[in-house]
Structure 1
Amino acid sequence: MRIQALPAQLINQIAAGEVVERPASVIKELVENSLDAGATRIEVDIEQGGGKLIRVRDNGGGIHPEDLRLALSRHATSKIGTLEELERVSSMGFRGEALPSIASVSRLTIASRASGQESGWSVSGDGGERIADPVPSAHPQGTTVEVRDLFYNTPARRKFMRAEKTEFSHIETQLKRLALSRFDVSFTLSHNRKELFTLPLAAQLQEQERRLAGLLGGAFLEQVIHLERDQAGLALRGWVARPVFSRSQADMQYFYVNGRMVRDKLVTHAVRQAFQDVLFHGRHPAYVLYLDLDPLQVDVNVHPAKHEVRFRDGRMVHGFIYRTLHQVLADTRPGQEVDRTTGEIRLLEVERSATPVSGTAPVAYQRPLGFQVQERQAGYQPGYQSSFEMQRPSPASLAAVEESADEVPPLGFALAQLKGIYILAENATGLILVDMHAAHERITYERFKRAVLEGGISRQPLLVPVSVAVSAREGDLAETHRSLFSELGMEVDRLGAETLVVRAIPVLLQGADAEKLLRDILSDLVVHGSSERIRDEINQVLATMACHGSIRANRRLTVEEMNALLRDMERTERSDQCNHGRPTWVQLDMARLDKLFLRGQ
């Protein structure tokens, strides 16, 4: 067959296959155009899941009447004009493909009144190559785009559309993502002439969190930590949910780069690593995060639908996201207080209350053996033996509890032990329940990690060095990151262009598969530019050691030992969760207790 130029209409329909996957894709493109036009109010009307009608109305700058026909031409845009502008592009759209692609598979009408114009104009297309001349139209400043009968002229594409309910669900999800990207814009969504939600402007943090609660649920907002961090030209802000709010699916993860919603492997990997120590296996974190950086440092022109980006320095971005979230999660401990106005995380002072209520020195309970505990049972009546052990507080204890709320530490003072598993304590708010094994496991684990960090990772020479065949690129990476391997307790030499040899591995990983470990690290370096593989492996060993070296169930503790455990929880990073992601303590405040007993009702 001879080479021939494709008709313009077919070119647009091919482009539509990349840009317009379903009605939700149309919403994304049209709303992003409204945002680029400077709109502060966007109204979206849907009929029959978007198959019959999609209407997006905004109060943006509008389109000049002489540009209306050009708006439906391919590669026509007001957002860039040179390669330099493309490299610095900060607008959501810039390719000039969305409107002509949508127009090629629907009946489209654009009505607009540009800023400074006395009247509005409209232009229509019916899926063919011909575009009608603009005609006068009564319209306020801004633009309205109507898309009717989507895919009416491409039956094969229409056949792949799902049920109305399913398609509208995708639209609602897409608009949520867009609404979370711009708190300075109000959004309204209607389906089949029924208004579903209106999101007003949200300038203040409290207003933003109200929008957050409306879109993601109040339970999410109750468990989030607000963060704002800046470093070396990178800024990360937003909300990250505490590990106890983990999800069975990755359905509550919103990440924006310079205001653009992206699904990026590097970002996902950095977040997952930050949560690794505090999430239950198979669970996913929840977050709404915004990364801002110089547009020159990120390439947004790598995907037709602009879902993906490419960072100029991926290793720096990965490290910044990981370190920021890692530190925020490290502060999830009893006594954490978040300033809802500034987002600053403060830790309540616990040192003044570090001495147990009995007035004696803290017991070194962290040793797995050697407890000075008297095993005794308390009978409430003949023939009944209770596992609830109540120890009478000393006069000093009673005096301490009666002090003002400011003097009571976050986890309060121990009252008793329940079933040999839980510690019951009283703080200023009410009742505290602590899973003593889970709490001690976290404390022991963090001490092991700190010891390894301060003392370095000791290496163990292999009796027989392991030779590994690699690609030339992997060999270059191993040579470039030689210091990284040394820091992680590995000795790796290059014997040839495609041959590496492992001469030593970390002592704590003695017996591990050296070749597999090397290949996994090289894989991380290829994809992410860095690797935490060895640290992760060592942490798994330390976690196992911590689990075996922690207080076991049915161990009786004295009041002094219980209070010592509570004070260490208040000082230990990530002590809200054990190494497996389970919560270590819960608070039952007086309001909740009153509700249980119907007090005041």
Structure 2
Amino acid sequence: MKCNWRERYCKEYGGIVVAHKQIRKLAPDLANKIAAGEVIERPASVLKELLENSIDAGSTKIDIIIVAGGIELLQVRDNGCGIAKDQLGLAITQHATSKITAIADLGNLSSLGFRGEALASIGSVAKLSIVSKPDVADIAWSIAVAGADSVMVQEPLAHGNGTTIAMRELFFNVPVRRKFLRTIKTETQYCETVFKAIILSNFSIAFSCKRDSGKMRTFPACLDKVAMAKRIATVCGKSFMANAIYIESATEQMQISGWFGLRAALRAQNDLQYCYINGRIIKDKLVNHAVREAYKNAFPEESISKLPACILFLKITANLVDVNVHPTKHEVRFVDARGVHAFIANAIFSALTNNNQVETAVSAPEYNYSNIPLQEFIPVTERSAIIPIYIIETKILLVARDLQLICVDLQAVRKLLYHTIAAEQLQQNNILATKPLLMPQQVIVVVQDTLGHLGFSIGSISPTASLVRAVPEILQDSDCDYLELLTDLQQATAAQHVGIIIAAAAKVPDTFTLAAASELLQQLERYNIDVASVIPGVSNSLGASALLKIL
């Protein structure tokens, strides 16, 4: 009996004979789960969609709860316009939205969402509940679904004006997707990344976020640039704000603004690059390339190995950009891509190269700082790289070196570092190096103009208030209360001034991260200070059992 070529191929090469199959239309629940996979990758995807819905609803306050990385619970509550009772069921229907009504609206989008896929997709792969009350309604109504094929349950509830959406047990009915989720810690970090990106582009909204059993973090609405700078410093670090400039440039159809790091803010990775187009967070190759080109031309030597840090806002006429490109809405297409690229690159390059940092000229009193004692420390000879591992309550830094775990007292090592830096600056120039503040700070105290040699630039603006324009450089990474510090300096003697500033600089901010720890270790290495020289109140070298007790 003759066999056809498919059978011969299978015998010779181990192939598989595929039977002819009929084309069938997928069941609605299966189609919804597949479609949901394009929009909902992980809990962070859900958080992004829910936050964008709250922003589109005109909210001025948004509260977030994240449990187990958002896998077990992710809740977003806002005080927006709310959803009427008769539209709750429609809200979780595929391709139902209040954002657009005709295809022409796609060319003039002013909202972050527009496809009507988010809530339907979430409800297909998770247990979803919505409670909402418009301000014109007397009572709130709720609706709940658990999967695409579940029955919607609707009932009245007590709730203030606005909407609360809770997602529980993500991918409970799609086990093949759930097993590809990362650890709770990693998924929490993804949610944190989304949260940071959202609050950096919506300064007029107050946010709060609670993770698991941790304390609630609050971010008040920003009414001026000082408050905006404070929020940015909280998210991106004071080091970024201390080494960044504000840029603003515009044409008839485009406007660019934002904060851009200078040479000292260049980083080894792109974890501090936030780009927004018409308020929407994007990850666009053309925009990223324009930013890199500007920094490459401004700082040709550093840009080879380091990446820029920036918060970029681009406003462009709606009909000149297409955001309906990708399900996640992270990518866009420009009508005049070359023109956009040139505008961004030129605006950033011009600002970076034309920036003139204000240097305060001060006349220092004739103090003798040559006898300032330096703390004893272990000099660096030949040692292996030190890797930061874990931060314990912003007090102890756990580092690894030569297969050994070492505990470092963060405040003590910072004090030693800044003591060394201050002593070097005073011995060389008889003054502390100064750093202009991006946003001068007002303090309700009259400061005498005798602190210039300590790195301060302060001017009186009223009989009871002063404006701090520059501070000692060693304070740029600290979480310092300038009012308290200046009060202490005025009450102290001249011999105590340097010690008070060093103590203020040494305080570890609550937002101290492993990235900041890595920068700290690099500074210690530059000044030949070994972290092993600063022994905390626990054993300097830890075994596995001791480590487990601490963690």
* TM-score normalised by length of structure 1: 0.57
Deviation at 1:142, TM superposition (A): 0.6
Equivalent residue letter for 1:72 = I
Cα deviation 1:572-592 (Å, max 9, x = unaligned): xxxxxxxxxxxxxxx987999
Cα deviation 1:167-190 (Å, max 9, x = unaligned): 111111110000011001111111
Cα deviation 1:442-473 (Å, max 9, x = unaligned): xxxxxxxxxxxxxxxxxxxxxxxxxxxxxxxx
Deviation at 1:194, TM superposition (A): 2.6
Residue 328 of structure 2 corresponds to residue 293 of structure 1 = no
Name the SS of the counterpart of 1:275 in structure 2: helix
Distance 1:249 1:140 in 2: 43
Equivalent residue letter for 1:294 = T
Aligned counterpart for 1:272 among listed residues 259, 273, 292 = 292
Aligned counterpart for 1:29 among listed residues 29, 32, 49 = 49
Equivalent pair of 2:125/2:171 in contact (CA under 8 Å): yes
Aligned counterpart for 1:70 among listed residues 90, 114, 120 = 90
Cα deviation 1:536-590 (Å, max 9, x = unaligned): xxxxxxxxxxxxxxxxxxxxxxxxxxxxxxxxxxxxxxxxxxxxxxxxxxx9879
Residue 246 of structure 2 corresponds to residue 223 of structure 1 = no
* Partner residue, 1:174: 194
Aligned counterpart for 1:155 among listed residues 163, 175, 181 = 175
Deviation at 1:134, TM superposition (A): 2.2
Equivalent residue letter for 1:283 = K
Residue 599 to residue 266, structure 1, CA distance change in 2 (3 Å): closer
* Partner residue, 1:135: 155
* Partner residue, 2:132: 112
Equivalent pair of 2:36/2:122 in contact (CA under 8 Å): yes
Distance 2:263 2:287 in 1: 18
Deviation at 1:244, TM superposition (A): 1.4
Deviation at 1:128, TM superposition (A): 3.4
Aligned counterpart for 1:55 among listed residues 56, 71, 75 = 75
Name the SS of the counterpart of 2:116 in structure 1: coil
* Partner residue, 2:225: 205
Distance 1:590 1:17 in 2: 49
Equivalent pair of 2:258/2:313 in contact (CA under 8 Å): yes
Distance 2:149 2:109 in 1: 30
Cα deviation 1:14-58 (Å, max 9, x = unaligned): 111111111111100011101111111111101111111111111
Equivalent residue letter for 1:157 = R
Equivalent pair of 1:188/1:195 in contact (CA under 8 Å): no
Equivalent residue letter for 2:246 = H
Equivalent pair of 1:302/1:309 in contact (CA under 8 Å): yes
Deviation at 1:595, TM superposition (A): 8.5
* Partner residue, 2:330: 307
Residue 223 to residue 153, structure 1, CA distance change in 2 (3 Å): same
Q: Percent identity?
A: 40
Distance 1:146 1:18 in 2: 20
Cα deviation 1:478-524 (Å, max 9, x = unaligned): xxxxxxxxxxxxxxxxxxxxxxxxxxxxxxxxxxxxxxxxxxxxxxx
Deviation at 1:131, TM superposition (A): 3.4
Residue 35 of structure 2 corresponds to residue 15 of structure 1 = yes
Residue 589 to residue 4, structure 1, CA distance change in 2 (3 Å): closer
Distance 1:119 1:271 in 2: 50
Distance 2:208 2:474 in 1: 40
Equivalent pair of 1:425/1:431 in contact (CA under 8 Å): no
Distance 1:334 1:71 in 2: 52
Equivalent residue letter for 1:326 = F
Distance 2:474 2:164 in 1: 54
Equivalent residue letter for 1:89 = L
Deviation at 1:87, TM superposition (A): 1.1
Equivalent pair of 1:69/1:123 in contact (CA under 8 Å): yes
Equivalent residue letter for 1:131 = V
Residue 590 to residue 35, structure 1, CA distance change in 2 (3 Å): closer
Deviation at 1:333, TM superposition (A): 4.3
* Partner residue, 2:340: 317
Residue 595 to residue 106, structure 1, CA distance change in 2 (3 Å): farther
Equivalent pair of 1:104/1:127 in contact (CA under 8 Å): yes
- 1:491-506 correspondence to structure 2 within 5 Å: none
Deviation at 1:426, TM superposition (A): 6.3
Name the SS of the counterpart of 2:221 in structure 1: coil
Residue 166 to residue 589, structure 1, CA distance change in 2 (3 Å): closer
Equivalent residue letter for 1:102 = I
* Partner residue, 1:395: none
Name the SS of the counterpart of 1:140 in structure 2: coil
Name the SS of the counterpart of 2:86 in structure 1: helix
Equivalent residue letter for 1:282 = S
Residue 591 to residue 276, structure 1, CA distance change in 2 (3 Å): closer
Name the SS of the counterpart of 1:181 in structure 2: coil
Cα deviation 1:255-275 (Å, max 9, x = unaligned): 000000001111111111110
Equivalent residue letter for 1:220 = F
Equivalent pair of 1:9/1:104 in contact (CA under 8 Å): yes
Equivalent pair of 2:67/2:74 in contact (CA under 8 Å): yes
Distance 2:154 2:162 in 1: 16
Distance 2:325 2:40 in 1: 17
Equivalent pair of 2:323/2:331 in contact (CA under 8 Å): yes
Equivalent pair of 1:61/1:142 in contact (CA under 8 Å): yes
Equivalent pair of 2:145/2:153 in contact (CA under 8 Å): no
Distance 2:136 2:241 in 1: 43
Distance 1:308 1:591 in 2: 39
Equivalent pair of 1:27/1:174 in contact (CA under 8 Å): yes
Equivalent pair of 1:224/1:240 in contact (CA under 8 Å): yes
Gaps of 5+ in 2: 1-20, 362-424, 435-470, 477-493, 504-551
Deviation at 1:6, TM superposition (A): 1.5
Distance 1:229 1:120 in 2: 45
* Partner residue, 1:102: 122
Equivalent residue letter for 1:106 = A
* Partner residue, 1:45: 65
Deviation at 1:334, TM superposition (A): 5.2
Distance 1:62 1:180 in 2: 24
Residue 308 to residue 594, structure 1, CA distance change in 2 (3 Å): farther
Cα deviation 1:342-368 (Å, max 9, x = unaligned): xxxxxx9xxxxxxxxxxxxxxxxxxxx
Name the SS of the counterpart of 2:197 in structure 1: helix
Cα deviation 1:287-344 (Å, max 9, x = unaligned): 001000111111000000101011111111111101100111112345479xxxxxxx
* Partner residue, 2:351: 328
- 1:347-426 correspondence to structure 2 within 5 Å: none
Aligned counterpart for 2:105 among listed residues 72, 80, 85 = 85
Deviation at 1:229, TM superposition (A): 1.2
Larger relative contact order (Cα-Cα within 8 Å, sequence gap ≥ 6): 1
Residue 73 to residue 589, structure 1, CA distance change in 2 (3 Å): closer
- 1:490-529 correspondence to structure 2 within 5 Å: none
Deviation at 1:120, TM superposition (A): 0.6
Gaps of 5+ in 1: 338-347, 349-421, 433-586
Residue 597 to residue 95, structure 1, CA distance change in 2 (3 Å): closer
Equivalent pair of 1:223/1:245 in contact (CA under 8 Å): yes
Residue 275 of structure 2 corresponds to residue 255 of structure 1 = yes
Equivalent residue letter for 1:61 = C
Distance 2:318 2:276 in 1: 13
Equivalent pair of 2:60/2:206 in contact (CA under 8 Å): yes
